[in-house]
Amino acid sequence: METVKQHAVHGGTLRYLKHDSATTGTSMTLSVFVPPGDGPFPVLIWLSGLTCTEDNFTTKAGAYAAAAEQGVIIVAPDTSPRGEGVADDPAYDLGQGAGFYVDATESPWAPHFRMESYVVEELIGLIDAEFPTTKARSISGHSMGGHGALTLALRHPHLFRSVSAFAPISSPTRCPWGEKAFTAYLGPDRETWDAHDAARLIEGGVGEGCYDDILIDQGDADPFLTEQLKPELLVQAGEAAGQTITLRMQPGYDHSYFFMASFIDDHVAFHAARLKD
């Protein structure tokens, strides 16, 4: 990986990096914060939401003071492949910036939009090879990235110690954002969609017994709460399957990074406790 720029922050080091991805067939970008000290350190992977790049969380979440204190590396990749020759759509909720953390099977998306494989196969290996990690890791994210964090943790529980999310798309098979993206990326057979729906996965017992708790923060003033996010479906699935889900409805908070910055320390501590046991 090539370091594009580097900053000192909270005693640690923040690097913006890029590399040629064998998975997506494109150049991919990410940021990596390494706390002060020699390590090795556990890793928290952060997945961002629609329209975001690796820069949104990096500059707006205010996570690095807590990460430095807890001794946790934080990795924030871009949300999709990009570049000339990569399929796109003029809408904000499809194409570049909207990878949905699935491996597309449909044209024209399939050649490059392989974000599930990128995160769980290529990115994890690169980080463990390039940085002083303990090879213990957790995952979190926001909105589309919250969906990604939940589904990747449930589908690949051997890779992650814990999972949390801010305002996740809880059941993409039952909301307009998810229905649009899954139709484009995965095709019209809705049965195939369930494998990428956190609420459906929990209902089906996927990841059963792997996570002692799943922490969800959701603002009650979020304009997408009722139509797109539907956290009650996660809670219902958890109750049916015996999976503990801690849903914290935060009064007055919306969908922005001001919301995440207000509670990110809790999430870093939540993961740190499980990464170091």
* Residues paired with 34 in a beta bridge: 13
Tell me which of 80, 143, 164, 171 is the catalytic residue.
143
Could you check whether the bond before residue 231 is cis, i.e. omega within 30 degrees of 0?
no
Q: Residue 255 catalytic?
A: yes
Interatomic CA distance for residues 177 and 224, integer angstroms: 10
Catalytic residue selected from 112, 142, 255, 271? 255
Which one of the listed residues 48, 93, 222, 271 is annotated catalytic? 222
Kind plus residue range of the DSSP H or E element containing 13? strand 12-20
Beta-ladder partners of 19: 28
Q: Where does residue 136 fall: left (phi above 0), alpha (psi -120 to 50 degrees), or beta otherwise?
A: beta
Q: Which residues of 67-96 are buried (b: 16+ CB within 10 A; e: fewer)?
A: bbbbbbbbbbbbbbbbeeebbbbeeebbbb
Please list the active-site residues: 143, 222, 255
